[in-house]
């Protein structure tokens, strides 16, 4: 199978499973990934998701050009017609729980764009990152030109985008592209520990924070603060918020129920 999916303790793990092709995304994998995001978005028991890949050479090197043909539709049809061409990130925006990306090896082109669409990125020390499309007369087509500056800042992003440079794990950590660097052997254990820590928190609060951050990035600060206050009010009388306070007072672990 080109994609594996399992759930353990309310944490879903998606594994790109084409190591022989550096986990490049072919049409079959793209369809499986899209279906997996839909499945995840409809599972009320999930509290966090990990996206990773098999092997040590690459997390993902983008589309498999050997199996991916240009669209048959003309520009007008693609722009104004019914959308029929699947997109690498289809379905990810419907996932309300945090997505942790565990990166080993190369995250290049669409592979990096896939990682950028996640909420957190953790990488092994042998990881490498780049959006080299400009070197072959193209541009990143999976929101790379938009997400990268929001994550690492304008100057660092422009350098990567305009030169097509590949950066190593240490540089990626320095500029904030990844939050944690670990030894290769510890990558999944660290990612699972991070996901379990997220999953142990109040589910409604976790989802609300993800939503607030995503929405707030496109709002003027004053409007984002007002939106935050509104969401705070919604959660104020929730079962889990009250339970959290009781557990703190009683010096015990809270039993969150997602309500």
Cβ–Cβ contacts within 10 Å for residue 22, how many?
A: 20
Per-residue pLDDT reduced to its tens digit, 113-133: 999 999 999 999 999 999 999
Give me the mean pLDDT over the 206-228 stretch.
Answer: 96
Confidence of residue 83 (pLDDT cuts 50, 70, 90): low
Average pLDDT, the chain: 92
- Looking at residue 71, what DSSP letter applies? P
* Residues of each domain in the chain carrying CATH 1.10.12: 203-250
Q: How far is residue 62 CA from its own chain's centroid?
A: 14
Give me the mean pLDDT over the 140-144 stretch.
Answer: 93
Q: How far is residue 149 CA from its own chain's centroid?
A: 16
Confidence of residue 214 (pLDDT cuts 50, 70, 90): very high
Q: What is the pLDDT at residue 88?
A: 82
Q: What is the pLDDT at residue 66?
A: 66
Look at residue 69 and tell me whether its pLDDT is greater than 70: no
Q: What is the pLDDT at residue 84?
A: 58
Can you read off the two tokens belonging to residue 122? 């953790």
Give me the mean pLDDT over the 83-111 stretch.
Answer: 89
**11-16: strand order across its sheet:** 3-8, 11-16, 48-53, 99-103, 120-124, 180-182
Look at residue 201 and tell me whether its pLDDT is greater than 70: yes
Q: What is the pLDDT at residue 67?
A: 60
Does the active-site annotation cover 226?
Answer: no
The residue whose two tokens read 């996206």 is 51
Strand 48-53 versus strand 128-130 pairing type: unpaired
Q: Are 217 and 159 in contact (CB under 8 A)?
A: no
- Looking at residue 70, what DSSP letter applies? P
Class (C level, CATH) for 3-199: alpha beta
Confidence of residue 165 (pLDDT cuts 50, 70, 90): very high
Class (C level, CATH) for 203-250: mainly alpha
Confidence of residue 4 (pLDDT cuts 50, 70, 90): very high
Q: What is the pLDDT at residue 78?
A: 65
Q: What is the pLDDT at residue 203?
A: 96
Helix and strand element counts for the chain (H, E) = 10, 10
How far is the C-alpha of 123 from the C-alpha of 179, rounded, in Å? 8
- Looking at residue 45, what DSSP letter applies? T
Q: Give the 3-state secondary structure of residue 28.
A: helix
pTM for the structure as a whole: 0.91
Which backbone phi and psi does 180 adopt, to 5 degrees?
Answer: -140, 140
Per-residue pLDDT reduced to its tens digit, 6-23: 999 999 999 999 999 999
**Residue of 28, 73, 113, 257 with catalytic role:** 113
Strand ranges for the chain from DSSP E:
3-8, 11-16, 48-53, 58-60, 99-103, 106-108, 120-124, 128-130, 166-168, 180-182
Residue with the bigger pLDDT between 91 and 13: it is: 13
- Looking at residue 236, what DSSP letter applies? T
How far is the C-alpha of 31 from the C-alpha of 64, rounded, in Å? 13
Does the active-site annotation cover 113?
Answer: yes
How far is the C-alpha of 206 from the C-alpha of 216, rounded, in Å? 15
Look at residue 77 and tell me whether its pLDDT is greater than 90: no
pLDDT more than 90, % of the chain:
85
Give me the mean pLDDT over the 164-185 stretch.
Answer: 97
Q: What is the pLDDT at residue 192?
A: 97
Look at residue 73 and tell me whether its pLDDT is greater than 80: no
Q: What is the pLDDT at residue 86?
A: 67
Strand 3-8 versus strand 11-16 pairing type: antiparallel
Q: What is the pLDDT at residue 60?
A: 97
**Residue of 20, 28, 133, 250 with catalytic role:** 133
Q: How far is residue 254 CA from its own chain's centroid?
A: 28
Q: What is the pLDDT at residue 238?
A: 94
* Residues of each domain in the chain carrying CATH 3.90.226.10: 3-199
Q: What is the pLDDT at residue 36?
A: 95
Cβ–Cβ contacts within 10 Å for residue 139, how many?
A: 10
């Amino acid at each position: 199978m080109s994609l594996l999916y399992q759930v353990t303790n309310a944490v879903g793990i998606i594994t790109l499973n084409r190591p022989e092709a550096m986990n490049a995304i072919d049409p079959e994998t793209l369809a499986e990934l899209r279906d997996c995001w839909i499945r995840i978005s409809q599972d009320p028991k999930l509290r966090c998701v990990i996206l990773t890949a098999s092997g040590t050479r690459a997390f993902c090197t983008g589309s498999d050009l050997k199996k991916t043909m240009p669209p048959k539709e003309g520009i007008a049809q693609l722009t104004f017609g019914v959308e029929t061409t699947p997109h690498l990130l289809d379905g990810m925006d419907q996932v309300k729980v945090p997505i942790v990306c565990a990166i080993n090896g190369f995250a290049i082109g669409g592979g990096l764009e896939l990682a950028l669409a996640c909420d957190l990125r953790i990488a092994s020390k042998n990881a490498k990152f780049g959006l080299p499309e400009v070197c072959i007369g193209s541009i990143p087509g999976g929101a790379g030109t938009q997400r990268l500056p929001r994550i690492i800042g304008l100057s660092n992003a422009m350098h990567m985008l305009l030169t097509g440079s590949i950066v190593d794990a240490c540089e990626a950590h320095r500029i904030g592209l990844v939050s944690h660097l670990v030894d290769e052997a510890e990558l999944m254990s660290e990612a699972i520990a991070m996901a379990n820590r997220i999953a142990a928190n109040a589910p409604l609060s976790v989802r609300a924070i993800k939503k607030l951050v995503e929405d707030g990035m496109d709002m003027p600060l004053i409007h984002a603060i007002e939106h935050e206050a509104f969401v705070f009010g919604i959660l104020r009388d929730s079962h889990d918020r009250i339970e959290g306070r009781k557990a703190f007072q009683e010096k015990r672990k809270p039993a969150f129920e997602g309500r």
